[in-house]
Structure 1
Amino acid sequence: MTQQPHPDAAKMTVTCAIVTVSDTRTQETDKSGQLIQQLLLSANHSVAAYAIIKDEPAQIQEQIELLGQSAKLDAIIFNGGTGIAPRDTTYDAIEKLLEKTLPGFGELFRFLSYQEIGSRAIASRAVAGVYQNKLIFSLPGSSNAVRLGMEKLILPELTHLVSQMRK
């Protein structure tokens, strides 16, 4: 049985941005970005920005820096580019900018992934941390991975993490 953390004192709406990192997806074919939006809205959070960018480190870092300047944003959720293929640069681009890391996010994501897909989970470089007082989450691009990360890790802890950053 999984132990539940103490409940957060107050419900809050967290304002998020969604960034899909892909060389091929469009708004019409971005099922993972659409799923993140749907799950956030279902949990009474808001989506203030959405973008699809190429898997280029400079574009990823520019997007983080741009979104990091928005006072209304609390969190940025990336999906895509977390593997080890030559074009998978999301982890490398994000990790360099993080001011604080949340190592448990990647560790737990890989553990949960292992339970679903077995040893292939070692190829995931999911990462999370803080940049410019914004939570940053980076998930693989598959819809199954997005659902897993959102439902098991991000949504249960999003309001708690934002309230911790605001202290």
Structure 2
Amino acid sequence: MGKIDESKDFLPVRIAVLTVSDTRDMSEDRSGEVLVGRIEAAGHVLADRMIVRDERDQIADQLREWIARDDVDAIITTGGTGLTGRDVTVEAHRDVYEKEIEAFATVFTMVSMQKIGTSAVQSRATGGVAGGTYLFALPGSPGACRDAWDEILQWQFDYRHSPCNFVEIMPRLDEHLRRK
């Protein structure tokens, strides 16, 4: 397991939260609330928050809009990662990704197995990078959002976490765009 290097300064990450749902509004968005609470408690900045319908184009368009913004470093979506016909969040993410972070899905499955056993196979959680922005698609349950944040994302979004973390490589995520 990694550890926190207290000799380093904490660097807040600007994170947008997108809930994908045909039925929820902000007052009913428990998963979004879990993420917002944990993001802010960790010292990060909530860059934006929205709810969009389970429509692939709408999800991808919102991801692209946030990726284009200078004040968004990462995007976490919740909902639409299951197996039903309306679950299109993963496809929308992959429409946008430049690179997929395959190990995120693997580690999330390992964490989920400890909590919900073989039901973890029903999740298609994913992560990737586009335009210098991290993107993560989490299931729509508050428990899954807690697990992903508490066991994976809070550590990877902490610059002090060693041996490595997402924050320390953020300045290089879009280096291929600057080489032209």
Q: Would you say same fold, with TM above 0.5?
A: yes
1:135·1:162 contact (CA, 8 Å) conserved in 2? no
Aligned mates of 2:155, 2:12 — CA distance in 1? 13
* Offset of residue 10 of structure 1: 2.9
Q: Output the amino acid matched with 1:107.
A: T
Residues 3-152 of structure 1: matches in 2 within 5 Å? 3-5=1-3, 7=5, 9-152=8-151
Tell me how far 1:153 sits from its aligned partner: 0.5
Q: Distance in 2 between matches of 1:111 and 1:152?
A: 10
CA distance in structure 2 between the aligned counterparts of 1:7 and 1:123, rounded to whole angstroms: 36
Q: State how far apart, in whole Å, the 2-side matches of 1:92 and 1:43 are.
A: 29
Deviation at 1:162, TM superposition (A): 2.5
Q: Which amino acid aligns with 1:106?
A: A
Q: Which runs of 5+ in 1 are unaligned?
A: none
Give the equivalent residue in structure 1 for 2:169. 164
The code of the aligned residue for 2:26 comes to Q
- Normalized against structure 2, the TM-score is what? 0.88
The 4+ residue runs of structure 1 with deviation greater than 6 A are: none
Bigger shift: residues 7-16 or 141-150: 7-16
Q: Deviations over 1:83-125 (max 9, x none)?
A: 0100000001101211111111110101111111111111100
May I ask how many residue pairs the two structures share in their alignment?
165
d(CA) in 2 for partners of 1:62, 1:163: 28
For the aligned residue pairs, the C-alpha RMSD in angstroms reads 1.3
The structure with the largest alpha-carbon Rg is 2
Unaligned 5+ segments in structure 2 are 159-164, 173-180
Verify the 8 A CA contact 1:53 1:60 in the aligned structure 2.
yes
Deviation at 1:5, TM superposition (A): 4.7
Alpha-carbon distance between aligned partners in 2 of 1:48 and 1:6, rounded to the nearest angstrom: 25
Moved more, 73-82 or 114-123: 114-123
Q: Is the 8 A contact 1:74 1:162 kept in 2?
A: no
Per-residue deviation, residues 59-82 of structure 1 (Å, max 9, x unmatched) = 011001110110111100100000
Task: Supply the AA of the counterpart residue of 1:16.
Answer: I
| Other structure's SS at 1:28 match | helix
* TM-score (ref. length: structure 1): 0.94
Percent of residue pairs identical: 33
Q: Distance in 2 between matches of 1:51 and 1:132?
A: 20
Deviates more, 1:94-103 or 1:135-144: 94-103
- Looking at structure 1, the residues matched to 70 and 44 of structure 2 have their Cα atoms a distance apart, in angstroms, of 16
